[in-house]
Every structure is written in C-alpha cells, then in structure tokens.
C-alpha cells in the first residue's frame, strides 16, 4: 500500500528472504519450476511486497564462484523487478549448469521461469521485460 501513497515515499519493490522458516515454507508449500540452470519456487506471502531468496549449494563451487552466481541471479531478478506483482515469496536455487553460463543465459532462464510461475502483473508486460 505504501507505494500508492506518494511519489516520494515509494517502498522498496524487492526485499530479501532471510528467514530459514520462510525458505522452508516456500520450498514445501509453494510451486516450483525448473530448467537446466536454475530452480524457481514461488509462494504467496500475504504482504504488499516481493521477497526473493537465493540458494547456491557448496557443491556448485568455491566462495568466489558462489558469490558470482548469486550476483548474476540478483541482477537478473532486478531486471524484472518492475514487472512482478506484489505478494510473492520467491526462492531461486542454482544448479550445476549456471557455473558455465553467462549473465544473459541466467537472465533468460529466470525470466522464462518467472513467466511460467505467473507472478508477472500481466503477460504482455512480461514479454517486453524479457527482451530488455
């Protein structure tokens, strides 16, 4: 509701998902979609904002590589942040293949899965967001 009040008091569109219980709820009660690079899970949170969490297993690589993958995923989600409708908790899990993917492949995967999950405000806006 805060983003409708005044232009100067826009709320942050994206928040981080930080609680272990939240992660577990999204994984167990939400729906999941996947492609060879990432797994995406989504679950309604009843709030007026979107929370996104990222999971990169130690099996993917060492600390530098895991940080790099998280940054690519965060940057990809940021590209779609204006298009996601509020009220969702999203968890994105890295698979083995992302370690050999570049940014555009990761963004494509995440955009495609967000579209499959149906968390965009409307479908045509999602398509325009995917190109840019």
- Tell me which residues touch RNA (CB under 7 A): 2, 5-6, 8-12, 16-20, 23, 53-55, 62-64, 67-68, 70-72, 74-75, 78, 102-104
- Nearest distance in Å: CB 42, RNA: 16
Write out the two tokens for 114: 């967000």
Q: Is 113 left (phi over 0), alpha (psi -120 to 50) or beta?
A: alpha
Of 62 and 131, nearer to RNA (C-beta) is 62
Length of the chain measured in residues: 132
* Identity of the residue, 70 or 112, whose beta carbon is nearer to RNA in the bound complex: 70
The rounded distance, in Å, linking the Cα atoms of 2 and 94 is 32
| Closest approach of RNA to the CB of residue 94, in Å | 12
Q: How far is the CB of 112 from RNA (least distance, A)?
A: 17
Shorter beta-carbon distance to RNA: residue 54 or 118:
54
Nearest to 41 by CA among 20, 53, 26: 26
The SS3 assignment for 26 reads: helix
78 or 121: CB nearest RNA: 78
Instruction: Say how far apart CA 120 and CA 117 lie, in whole Å.
Output: 8
Q: How far is the CB of 58 from RNA (least distance, A)?
A: 8
């Amino acid at each position: 509701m805060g983003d409708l009040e005044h232009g100067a008091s826009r709320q942050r569109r994206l928040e981080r998902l930080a609680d272990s219980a939240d992660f577990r709820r999204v994984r167990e009660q939400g729906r999941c979609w996947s492609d060879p690079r990432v797994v995406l899970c989504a679950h309604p949170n009843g709030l007026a904002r979107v929370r996104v969490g990222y999971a990169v297993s130690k099996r993917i690589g060492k600390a530098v590589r895991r940080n790099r993958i998280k940054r690519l995923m965060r940057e990809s989600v940021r590209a779609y942040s204006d298009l996601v409708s509020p009220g969702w908790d999203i968890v994105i899990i890295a698979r083995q293949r992302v370690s050999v993917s570049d940014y555009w492949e990761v963004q494509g995967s995440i955009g495609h899965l967000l579209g499959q999950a149906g968390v965009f405000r409307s479908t045509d806006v999602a398509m325009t967001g995917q190109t840019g």
